[in-house]
Amino acid sequence: MADRRKDKSGKVLRKGESQRKDGTYMYRWSNNDGERECVYSRTLNELRELEEDINRDMVLGVCRKAHTLNEQIERYLRTKINLANSTKENYKYYFNHVIKESRIGKTKVTDIKKSDILLFYNSLTEQGLSIGTVKIIHKIIRPSLQLACDDDVISKNPADGCTKDYIDNPEKKFALTFDEEEEFLTRITLRPRMKRYYPMYAIILKTGLRISEAIGLTWNDISMDDQEISINHQIQYRLLNGTTQLYATDTKTSAGRRTIPMTDEVYQLFIEQKKVWMNTKKDPDFEVDGYKNFVFVSHMTGKCMNHNSVRRMMRTLVDMNDEREIKLPDLSPHILRHTACCRYAESGCDIKVLQYLMGQTDIKTTMRVYNHVDMERVKRELNRLKQWNQEQKSLHQNLHHFAVDLCENM
């Protein structure tokens, strides 16, 4: 009987096992397709743990031949034909700037353990990345590895549950008070170069349109006869194919495609916007992916408004705090949208109608606004209750006097 092979310490090696010159161990085997593969380990015990995983996967029919995580992510992104362009570009950005040059990115998916992903995420937070950013990266890694599971490359997804301890503490969203809302609109009229944009900001504030929806509006989307606004696309301004540019996409969600009736106030604002539009010199050849005749046009470029310009003008208004009695908080287009949503909710708008008007798919998102209570809302409700009590008291007094007069005249 031939002598059994042993390592340098005299331990008997199994079939396929060998010790290399540097003292590490290697295991070679044939996969289910008959192809030769090998794995390496520092110790024999670790090697045999890998062998157990390999043998189990062989029984389950799992193919051990795998890509690196980088290659797997690229493969996954190629399969996502329904991803919005903005989302895909966002994923590509974080893949190229965070994952691609990392050690885990260059590791084969078959060699990635859950602890590797946990340690990678922890290193990102230590580098100063926010929890929100880590969760975006997780949205890239986890489905990519799930695709490897579905392809029988790995038996389970090591990324499952890796962000359960990452709890967001987002800044509390706020709505403008009535005084702040009035102050915001007043400040626009005080800036000579901004006065022409008053209807645009007021329409966003009164309708709750997303900034990308408002900028994307064309006059074909506006029916002055029916007093309706058709939301059927949006214009984004983000990194695309290596350059920051305007491009058209579908609405953010299927619920985002909607028709919004105009209130009388919004109708008048569109009349004013038409006057502004008529007096603005426009670029006749400008279009974005086939869309043209935009409602909100820059007087500087003659093209549709730029997202950054809208935000920059809002920051200019906040900078007026030192010279104004009422102070404005930091503003963004989303704050205007949130304010509109809160106004609808405070007026008692049916929650399903509110969900429709805001173009939100998940009613939980609408409920968070609907149930939002701040001190201004509490004071308004108490004042409303006080007024109602006074009216009831006055009504009872009038009824009492009427009854007394009636008895005296009988």
Query: Do 60 and 75 belong to one domain?
Result: no
Considering all CA atoms of the chain, what is the largest pairwise distance in Å, rounded to the nearest integer?
A: 131
**CA 345: distance to chain centroid?**
23
402 assigned to some structural domain: no
How many CB atoms within 10 Å of residue 187? 21
173 assigned to some structural domain: no
Query: Do 245 and 108 belong to one domain?
Result: no
- Each residue of 207-253: pLDDT tens digit? 999 999 999 999 999 999 999 999 999 998 876 666 778 888 888 77
Q: What is the CATH number of the domain that holds 42?
A: 3.30.160.60
139 is written with which tokens?
């949205």
Find all residues with CB under 8 Å of 189, minimum gap 6, and list them. Answer: 195, 198
119 is written with which tokens?
């340690």
DSSP symbol at 166? -
Query: Do 259 and 240 belong to one domain?
Result: yes
Domain interval for residue 2: 1-64
DSSP symbol at 119? H
Query: Do 60 and 115 belong to one domain?
Result: no
Query: How far apart (Å, rounded) are the C-alpha atoms in residues 313 and 126?
Result: 35
DSSP characters over 259-279: EEEPPHHHHHHHHHHHHHHHT
367 assigned to some structural domain: yes
12 assigned to some structural domain: yes
Query: Do 146 and 187 belong to one domain?
Result: no
163 assigned to some structural domain: no
Query: Do 360 and 227 belong to one domain?
Result: yes
Query: Do 18 and 127 belong to one domain?
Result: no
Query: Do 60 and 80 belong to one domain?
Result: no
CA-closest candidate to residue 50, choices 36, 39, 59: 39
Would you write out the chain's pLDDT as a tens digit for each of its 410 residues? Answer: 456 788 889 899 999 999 988 888 989 888 777 778 888 888 999 889 888 888 887 776 665 556 899 999 998 998 887 776 667 878 888 999 999 999 999 999 988 999 999 999 999 999 988 888 899 999 999 999 999 888 778 888 999 999 998 886 555 567 898 999 999 999 999 999 999 999 999 999 999 999 999 999 999 999 999 999 999 999 988 766 667 788 888 887 788 899 999 999 999 999 999 999 999 999 999 999 999 999 999 999 999 999 999 999 999 999 999 999 999 999 999 999 999 998 888 888 888 999 999 998 888 878 877 666 556 666 666 676 677 667 776 766 666 555 556 566 65
Query: Do 208 and 98 belong to one domain?
Result: no
Counted domains in the chain: 3
223 assigned to some structural domain: yes
Residue ending a domain, among 45, 64, 83, is 64
Tell me how far CA of residue 290 lies from CA of 87, 153, 297, in angstroms.
21, 43, 16
The pTM score is 0.65
DSSP 3-state of 291: strand
Give kind and range of the element (H or E) at residue 41.
strand 36-41
Query: Do 118 and 185 belong to one domain?
Result: no
CA-closest candidate to residue 357, choices 244, 248, 269, 262: 262
397 assigned to some structural domain: no
Query: Do 143 and 184 belong to one domain?
Result: no
354 assigned to some structural domain: yes
Q: What is the CATH number of the domain that holds 110?
A: 1.10.150.130
CB 175 within 8 A of CB 339: yes
Residue ending a domain, among 39, 64, 89, is 64
In the β-sheet with 36-41, what is the strand arrangement from edge to edge? 17-19, 25-30, 36-41
Residue ending a domain, among 49, 64, 79, is 64
Query: Do 183 and 304 belong to one domain?
Result: yes
Phi, psi for 98 (deg, rounded to 5): -120, -45
